[in-house]
Amino acid sequence: MNKQTYLILIAAVSALGGLLFGYDTGVINGAQFYLTKFFEFNETTQGFVVGSALIGCFVGAIAAGFLSVKIGRKNSLIFSAILFTVSAWGSGLPEILPQTIPVLVVFRIIGGLGIGIASMNAPMYIAEIAPSNIRGKMVTYYQLAIVIGFFVVFLVTYFIGNNLSEAENLEFGWRRMFWSELIPSTLFLILLFLVPKSPRWLALKGQDTAALQILNKIHGVEQAQKEIEEIKSSLETEENKIKVNYFSKAIFVIILIGTVLSMLQQFTGINAVLYYGADIFEKALGFGKDDVLLQQILLAFVNLVFTFVAMFTVDKLGRKPLLYIGSVGMIIGFLLLGVSLQQQAVGFVSLLGVLIFIASFAMSMGPIVWVILSEMFPNKIRSVAMSVAVAAQWAANYLVTQTFPMVMQSEVNNGPTWNGSLPYFIFIGFIVVIIFLTYKFIPETKGKSLEEIEAFWKK
Mean local confidence (pLDDT), 118-133: 88
Neighbours of 452 (CB within 10 A): 13
Q: Is the pLDDT of residue 28 over 50?
A: yes
Mean local confidence (pLDDT), 94-114: 81
CB neighbour class for 392 (10 Å; exposed up to 12, middle 13-18, buried from 19): buried
CB neighbour class for 260 (10 Å; exposed up to 12, middle 13-18, buried from 19): middle
Query: How would residue 279 be classed by pLDDT, with cut points 50, 70 and 90?
Result: low
CA pair distance 201, 100, nearest whole angstrom: 42
Q: Is the pLDDT of residue 263 over 70?
A: yes
CATH fold of 3-195+244-456 reads Growth Hormone; Chain: A; (1.20.1250)
- With beta carbons less than 8 A apart as the criterion, state whether 307 and 147 touch: yes
The residue length of the chain stands at: 459
Mean local confidence (pLDDT), 293-307: 81
What integer pLDDT is reported at residue 8 of this predicted model? 76
Question: How many CA atoms, within 13 angstroms, populate the side-chain half-sphere of residue 96?
Answer: 0
From residue 376, give the alpha-carbon distance in Å to each of 197, 245, 258, 318: 21, 17, 8, 14
Q: Is 444 left (phi over 0), alpha (psi -120 to 50) or beta?
A: beta
Tens of pLDDT, residues 143-182: 888 888 878 887 888 888 888 887 888 878 888 899 999 9
Question: For residues 7 and 305, which has the higher predicted lDDT (pLDDT)?
Answer: 305
Tens of pLDDT, residues 191-224: 899 889 999 999 989 899 999 999 998 888 888 8
CA pair distance 258, 262, nearest whole angstrom: 6
Which stretches within 268-364 are classed as H helix?
270-275, 277-279, 289-313, 319-342, 348-362
Q: Is 420 left (phi over 0), alpha (psi -120 to 50) or beta?
A: left
- End-to-end Cα, the chain, rounded Å: 41
Q: Is the pLDDT of residue 83 over 90?
A: yes
Q: Is the pLDDT of residue 257 over 50?
A: yes
Tens of pLDDT, residues 396-420: 988 887 788 889 889 999 999 999 9
- With beta carbons less than 8 A apart as the criterion, state whether 86 and 141 touch: no
Q: Is 286 left (phi over 0), alpha (psi -120 to 50) or beta?
A: left
CA pair distance 17, 184, nearest whole angstrom: 9
Mean local confidence (pLDDT), 72-93: 92
Query: How would residue 81 be classed by pLDDT, with cut points 50, 70 and 90?
Result: very high
**Which DSSP symbol is given to 378?**
-
Q: Is the pLDDT of residue 242 over 50?
A: no
